[in-house]
Copies of this chain bind each other. A is one copy, B any other.
Amino acid sequence: MKKSTALDRVRVVLSHPSHPGNIGAAARAMKTMGLSRLYLVNPRRFPDPEAVTRSSGAADVLENATVCGSLEEALGGTVLAAALTSRRRDLSLPPLTLREAAPKLLAEAQDHEVAVVFGAETSGLTNAELDCCQMLLSIPANPEYASLNLAAAVQVVTYELRTATASEAPPTETGNLATLEEIEGFYGHLEEVMIAASFLDPASPKRLMHRLRRLYARTRLEREEVNILRGILKSLDPRRKS
């Protein structure tokens, strides 16, 4: 049996891909760089013979792809998800360049599941999808024409990851990181308590939750920290006793 490597713990997540040809080309790109774990969130057409054709010798990556109904599902069990973005966004985290991001992703992937998330061909990732990710990464490109093809972006990202494995970054010290589900549980709890305290208006919750998610996404919460924060919330919940 082959020894499992950090690259085996990197998921490539394509959200809402429109063109099966791009899915196939992405699978081929992944395999050339030694990645194999493809996740598809609501692909428009999959499986599809065009995907197989464009995958060339990487049909195995397509066959083993996981089709999901939501991005949350595709990220289940990961401790770090990086979203590829080319647009400047108001409230987002400052994006890392791909070269800055690759060693960080790989350091986590020594022991944990991580993901790189690619948006739909024309529209990219929605703000709600970005909120599921803890890191933004950007591929430096021509500011006058930054329109990388989806599979080309997958190729560049996986190339950079493979190249970064060769340079072997020292592992960053991380405690026992919380999973996506645990972090989402905390956000849900926080939102609920803020509504109960009338601090958050459920009619227009978006901006506040977005700000808070951004704050905590920067910290990379540990499991014990999530437990502490939820303990605080529980003790402060105005519904507890009045």
* B211-A228 in contact (CB<8A): yes
Contact with B along A186-215 (1 / 0, CB 8 A): 000000011001110000000010011001
A32–B151 Cα distance when bound, in Å, is 13
Q: Name the residue of chain B whose CB is nearest to the CB of A88.
A: B173
Q: A213-242: which residues lie under 8 A (CB-CB) from chain B?
A: 215-216, 218-221, 224-225, 228, 231-232, 235-238, 242
Given contacts A194-B232, A221-B215, A224-B211, contact A174 B94 (CB under 8 A): yes
How many subunits of this chain does the assembly comprise?
2
Q: Contacting A149 at CB < 8 Å: which of B25, B148, B194?
A: B25
Scoring A29, A155, A197 by chain B CB atoms within 10 A of each residue's CB, the highest score goes to A155
Q: Are the CB atoms of A147 and B28 closer together than 8 Å? A: yes
> In chain B, what residue has the closest Cβ to A156?
B159
Q: Is A49 an interface residue (CB 8 A)?
A: no
A142 interface hit (Cβ, 8 Å)? yes
Q: Is A14 an interface residue (CB 8 A)?
A: no
